[in-house]
Amino acid sequence: MGQDDLDAELQHRRSGEGEHRLPPSIAVLVAIVTYALLPQPLLVGPRFAIPALEVLLLVAVVSVNPVRLVRQTRWSRWASVGLAVVVIGTNLVALGMLVATLNSDEDPNRLLVGAVQVWLTNVIGFALLYWELDRGGPVSRHRERRDRLPPAEWRFSQDENAQTVREVKATSSEQSGWVPVFVDYLYVSVTNSSAFSPTDTMPLSSRAKLLMALQATAALVVSLLIVARAVGALGS
């Protein structure tokens, strides 16, 4: 792209007024409620301790950008990434506790529901982290010219559609100024947790590959637990 093309593409992205706060906020609230409803053996500390921390972090980041993601400070950036890390970290601990309770006297049906809750939170937590890390985060993706963005962590199909037929390339990154939003990272997270590998969106950095490997491994463990429980129920 030439200088004029970069400026025109940036102006096109800015005209969208920034990504909307609502989708990621709803996802965080779902993760908070899901964690609070986990069976007691899968909780870290008191039932509402972790949800309260997550609510505080969510309120902090929403206060900076209540409607559209157009501003960013160092502390808000750290709070946003920290929120995703807390969701993922506590969920991985819950997964470890889930594995540890397999031979306990806990109600197997409750633990099965807990496994589904852990899988769902796994999807949301990693989606949030991918969304925050890629190309400097949602504010940078909207405000910065492409030649000033940090290197991409993931390659979406829109990033390579510029040489395709007209109706496909119309929505390509090069043609339309498209940049990924939260729903795109949620899709990546769902497919990675379902297929245990990337599908149409490829990790580019070592960090992205390690995160996707961690997520896929956690999702695989949960799925194996659910399958084991189903087989056990059939044999009983």
Q: Would 100 be classed as within a structural domain? A: yes
Return d(Cα 128, Cα 183) in angstroms, integer.
Answer: 10
Q: Would 168 be classed as within a structural domain? A: no
The backbone region for 82, taken as left when phi is positive above 0, alpha when psi lies in -120 to 50, beta otherwise, is alpha
Instruction: Kindly calculate the radius of gyration of the chain based on its CA atoms and give it in whole angstroms.
Output: 20
For the segment 66-84, the average pLDDT, to the nearest whole number, is 93
Q: Percentage of the chain surpassing pLDDT 90?
A: 57
Query: Would you state the structure tokens that stand for residue 72, as one six-digit string?
Result: 């960013």
What's the domain range around 28? Answer: 3-149+181-235
Which of the listed ranges 84-88, 142-146, 176-180 does the model predict with the highest average pLDDT? 84-88
The alpha carbon torsion through 184, 220, 194, 115 (nearest 10 deg) reads -90
Q: Would 24 be classed as within a structural domain? A: yes
More confident residue, 173 or 12: 173
Q: How many domains does the chain have?
A: 1
Using one digit for the tens of pLDDT, what is the confidence trace for 156-206?
998 888 878 888 878 878 878 889 999 999 999 999 999 988 888 999 999
Res. 15: pLDDT tops 50: no
Question: Which has the closest alpha carbon to 96: 41, 50, 36, 52?
Answer: 41
Question: Which has the closest alpha carbon to 41: 104, 130, 121, 92?
Answer: 104
pLDDT at site 9: 54
Spatial neighbors of 34 by CB under 8 A, at least 6 apart, are 117, 120, 121, 124
Half-sphere exposure (Cβ direction) of 108: Cα atoms closer than 13 Å: 12
Q: Would 86 be classed as within a structural domain? A: yes
Res. 6: pLDDT tops 60: no
Q: Would 60 be classed as within a structural domain? A: yes
pLDDT at site 75: 92
Query: Would you state the structure tokens that stand for residue 147, as one six-digit string?
Result: 């030649």
Token pair 């119309």 is found at 170
More confident residue, 230 or 148: 148
Res. 217: pLDDT tops 70: yes
More confident residue, 165 or 133: 133
Half-sphere exposure (Cβ direction) of 114: Cα atoms closer than 13 Å: 26
Using one digit for the tens of pLDDT, what is the confidence trace for 110-131?
778 888 999 999 999 999 999 9
Q: Would 206 be classed as within a structural domain? A: yes
pLDDT at site 148: 87
Q: Would 189 be classed as within a structural domain? A: yes
Q: Would 220 be classed as within a structural domain? A: yes
pLDDT at site 41: 86
